[in-house]
Amino acid sequence: MSDRLRGKIAIVTGAGSRGPGLGNGKAAAILFAREGARVLCVDQRKERAEETVGIIRGEGGEATAFAADVTRAADCEGMVGEASERWGGLDILHNNVGIESRKDLVETQEDEWDRVMGVDLKSMFLATRAAVPAMDKRGGGAVICVSSIAGMRGHGRTAYAAAKAGVIGFVRSVAVQLGPKGIRVNAIAPGTVWTPMVQDLGPEARERRRRASPLGTEGTGWDIGWGAVYLASDEARWVTGQTLVIDAGLTVTTRG
Ligand SMILES: NC(=O)c1ccc[n+]([C@@H]2O[C@H](COP(=O)([O-])OP(=O)(O)OC[C@H]3O[C@@H](n4cnc5c(N)ncnc54)[C@H](O)[C@@H]3O)[C@@H](O)[C@H]2O)c1
């Protein structure tokens, strides 16, 4: 590893994984630590964050688990306060949290719409708003919000698509506002990566997802995590308001 994040203090939300294997948040947290960052691993389920912390510490990295529900403003302020008190500030906020809804317009009930908007979109607003004062004190920072190619293409998953498209709009708006403070705000739009979030789809869907893209290979949390490392690092110092699509080319083909 090349110490690309040496000396940086990072928060990763949804840093655990909902099941066995490697989610996007877990992979990003591990890669941030491998690149030298100190990482506050935030998850609603503390034991999930602790598992990621265990992996990081096992590799000689520095991380701490923190329990927070990022749909709550007080919890978002709490996680920023924890990183600031423990390590002296905040440089990187990786807003990874997200839940899926696979229902179409007619099937989607109001409570499900509200839940998905809360977790997938409102959490980005609350966490980013909480992070700004701490980043401002450090003279800048990097915020990364996990969207999805589901927010860029038409398909049946109404609430999920709307929330993930909202993330892209949020990032553009906030990047303009925070640019003068030296805070960069970008999105990552993962394609059909194989993570614990989608393991209930089963082996046939897994194979279909793999074959659909031009590259024809399966993506993992590592592929998304490396994008996050780039956007978090000073190598991306001139990049803000963008959406980095990591999808093996799926969005540029008419196949799939
Ligand atoms: N797997 C895919 O194909 C795919 C594709 C596109 C985008 N994504 C996005 O990737 C992100 C998820 O990645 P993952 O693999 O880490 O998911 P995951 O479900 O494995 O892990 C997310 C973690 O977030 C936690 N969490 C859920 N709600 C929370 C809340 N309100 N507050 C705090 N923690 C909460 C869960 O406990 C879980 O441990 C989501 O934003 C998802 O939409 C995934």
Q: What is the tens place of the pLDDT at every residue in 69-104?
A: 999 999 999 999 999 999 999 999 999 999 999 999
Per-residue pLDDT band at 154 (split at 50, 70, 90) = confident
> Which of 13, 22, 42, 44 best tests ligand 1's pocket when mutated (most atoms within 8 Å of CB)?
44
Bin 196: left if φ > 0, else alpha if -120 < ψ < 50, else beta: alpha
d(CA 63, CA 4): 17
Q: Which amino acid is at 74?
A: A
User: Cα–Cα distances in Å, from 66 out to 38, 44, 95, 169, 175?
Assistant: 13, 8, 14, 28, 27
**Whole-number pLDDT of residue 255:** 64
Q: Residue 148 has which token pair?
A: 């999805």
User: 12, 43, 124: which to mutate for ligand 1, most atoms within 8 A of CB?
Assistant: 43
Q: Which of 32, 66, 87, 160 is catalytic?
A: 160
Mention the CATH class of domain 9-249: alpha beta
Residue-wise pLDDT for 99-141, tens only, equals: 999 999 999 999 999 999 999 999 999 999 999 999 999 999 9
Biggest CA-to-CA distance, the chain = 50
Query: Is 206 in contact with 220 (CB distance < 8 Å)?
Result: no
Angstrom distance (rounded) from CA 80 to CA 100: 26
pTM as predicted: 0.97
Q: For 240, what's the count of Cα atoms within 13 Å in the CB-facing half-sphere?
A: 20
The answer, yes or no, to whether any atom of ligand 1 lies below 6 A from the CB of 93, is: no
For 185-232, write each residue's pLDDT tens digit: 999 999 999 999 899 999 999 999 999 999 999 999 999 999 999 999
Domains of the chain: which residue ranges? Answer: 9-249
To the query of whether residue 230 is one of the catalytic residues in this protein, the response is no
Q: 32 Cβ partners below 8 Å, 6+ apart?
A: 5, 8, 10, 12, 39, 92, 94, 228, 229, 232
Distance 197 CA to ligand 1 centre (A): 7
Residue 256 has pLDDT above 60, yes or no: no
